[in-house]
Amino acid sequence: MSQQLRDLLEQTFNNDSTEYQQRGFQRRVGYGSRPAIVHIDMANAWTRPGHAFSCENMETILPACQSLNTAARSKGVPVIYTTTAYEVTDPSKPSDMGLWVNKIPVETLAAGSDEVRIDDRIAPESDDLVITKKRASGFAGTNLAQILTAARVDTIILTGVTAAGCVRHTAEDGIAEGFRPIVVRESVGDRVQGVVDWNLFDIDAKFGDVEPLDSVVNYLERLPKFADTTTP
Which residues participate in catalysis according to the annotation?
Answer: 166
What are the CA-CA distances from residue 148 to residues 14, 31, 155, 179 (Å)? 35, 15, 9, 9
User: Which among 171, 208, 173 is positioned nearest to 25, based on CA atoms?
Assistant: 208
Q: Phi then psi for 201, rounded to 5 degrees?
A: -60, -45
Which residues pair with residue 38 across a beta bridge?
A: 80, 158
Integer Cα distance of 164 and 208 in angstroms = 14
Q: Tell the burial category of 28 from Cβ atoms under 10 Å away from its Cβ (0-12, 13-18, 19+).
A: exposed
Q: Angle, nearest 10°, between helix axes 3-22 and 195-206?
A: 10
Q: Tell the burial category of 161 from Cβ atoms under 10 Å away from its Cβ (0-12, 13-18, 19+).
A: buried
Integer Cα distance of 205 and 52 in angstroms = 30
Answer for the pair 134, 17: CB distance below 8 angstroms, yes or no: no
